[in-house]
């Protein structure tokens, strides 16, 4: 696993994920696909996505989004992302990308 020095951290407003209120699956999915693809890099296409979304409501607190490249080989890349509002998980996602 990669450490935080190799992770990309950004902040989202709750509205990006459907807040305040319960996160919206379509918005979480779109954000996850975008950040995972960005981390995988050009020339790779997504072949698998696992996405788990929490059901607790978002508040007005910012959401921290951490994206990591877990493993990179010549033809495949494993990437993960985790979104948290404070200590609470909003979503976690894992993607597998292959050279296109």
Give residue-wise pLDDT tens across range 59-76. 999 999 999 999 999 999
Give residue-wise pLDDT tens across range 22-41. 999 999 999 999 999 999 99
Question: Domains along the chain?
Answer: 4-99 (3.10.129.10)
Count of other CB atoms within 10 angstroms of residue 68: 20
Cross-strand bridge partners of residue 65: 10, 83
pTM, entire model? 0.89
As a whole number of angstroms, the distance between CA 73 and CA 18 comes to: 35
Of residues 73, 90, 5, 72, the one with CA closest to residue 81? 90
Q: Could you tell me if 51 and 29 are in contact, meaning their C-beta atoms sit under 8 angstroms apart?
A: yes
Tell me which DSSP letter residue 21 carries: B
């Amino acid at each position: 696993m990669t450490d935080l020095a190799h992770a990309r951290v950004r902040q989202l407003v709750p509205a990006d994920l459907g807040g305040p209120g319960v996160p919206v699956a379509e918005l979480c999915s779109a954000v996850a696909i975008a950040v995972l693809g960005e981390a995988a890099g050009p020339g790779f296409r997504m072949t698998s996505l696992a996405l788990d979304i929490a059901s607790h409501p978002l508040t007005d607190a910012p959401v921290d989004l951490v994206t990591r490249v877990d493993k990179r080989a010549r033809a495949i890349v494993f990437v993960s992302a985790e979104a948290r509002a404070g200590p609470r998980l909003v979503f976690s996602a894992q993607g597998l990308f292959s050279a296109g």
